[in-house]
Amino acid sequence: MKELLLKYGCNPNQTPAYLNMKDGRDLPFEILNGNPGYINFLDAFNSWQLVRELKKALGMPAAASFKHVSPAGAAVGVALSDVMKKKLFVENIPDINGSPLACAYARARGADRMSSFGDFIALSDVCDITTAKVIKPEVSDGVIAPGYDPDALELLKTKKGGKYCIIKIDPMYEAPEYETKEVFGVSFTQRRNDVVLDASALTNTVTVNKELPESAKRDLIVAMITLKYTQSNSVCYAVDGQAIGVGAGQQSRIHCTRLAGDKADNWLLREHDKVLALPFKEGIARPDRDNCIDCYISDHAEDVLREGEWQRFFTEKPPELTKEEKREFLKTRTGLALASDAFFPFSDNITRACRSGVKYIVQAGGSKRDGDVIAECDRLGVTMIMNGIRLFHH
């Protein structure tokens, strides 16, 4: 297929819209089900590159959950504990640890479930039946992968009344060295961002603390590759082989750090005993659970705990999760990794990151205030690497 006509572009008034290859070659994918749209394909192609690079860098199956051309979550296939299974709503899939790919998507989806609502999924490996079982109950627009086991494909085809978008990408396809896009009738051409992000990008440690365990290297690589496909400015918190807080598209670096840090805190607090014990009624849909949990953890708990409201979701009124309890719980969660897609201009980013348990940081460096940033890391015992690599993505 050399050209694919789309229903419309970003918005219904933007017609015609289509995909093709500038050199006249066949498109490097097949549509196995559904009718993906313009934005679906933008998410699919960005997310596929992300998971392909994670797999290459770490040698582990990888998955991503994309929304509006930025990842809500990304992860590699680290096995799940019983607590993690409950936290990620996959405790009903007892064999999930037998599929690292399924673990990767459960982690990617669970990083920011509010943002992942209606996501586009990318899988680095052939989708197996266990991964399809993880995907099946989630509200999602579609998936891209290099292939699908027959039983997995049949299960996925039942989503959205048979209209679920399923794309098979050619895993051997390589994009041209240069890429072009058009804005306001003007063509922009640049070399593709082919920088390799692996352990070789983690050698220039500039802080007094030089500690960098293998788990932290893995998490920093996950965070860097995630940022490579996140709309700038962006910051990513990661732990246990997964991104747990992505701050994307903010004009100020500190706002990226705060946004991503708040998401990371929310993800960590989902393991609090009070959250895991929330007495949901039978039949409460996952999106409603996600909304309730988000309100319960955040500063909007009254939205679900007030009289006349909690009865809709819970068998009994849950106890309040106080600010003091949240602070004390988060103090027990340390060892997080943080990556930034460009230098930190002020040390306030470090101060905020450490409130969410960050111990390992990688950033480009090159700010006039690098000395202030390093000093704050030294004060807080953080290991920081300056790799000289900027990862802006627009």
Residues known to be catalytic: 67-68, 233, 394
Give the other-Cβ count within 10 Å of 86's Cβ. 16
Strand residues in the chain grouped as ranges (E): 3-6, 17-20, 29-33, 62-67, 70-76, 119-123, 140-145, 165-169, 178-183, 186-191, 234-239, 242-248, 336-340, 358-363, 383-386
Q: Which residue has the tokens 């052939």?
A: 126
At what angle are helices 253-269 and 348-355 packed, to 10 degrees? 10
Query: Distance between CA atoms of 129 and 148, rounded to whole angstroms?
Result: 9
Query: Distance between CA atoms of 268 and 329, rounded to whole angstroms?
Result: 9
Residues 254/346, Cβ–Cβ less than 8 Å: yes
Residues 140/161, Cβ–Cβ less than 8 Å: no
Burial classification of residue 166, based on how many CB atoms lie within 10 Å of its CB (0-12 exposed, 13-18 middle, 19 or more buried): buried
Residues 257/279, Cβ–Cβ less than 8 Å: no
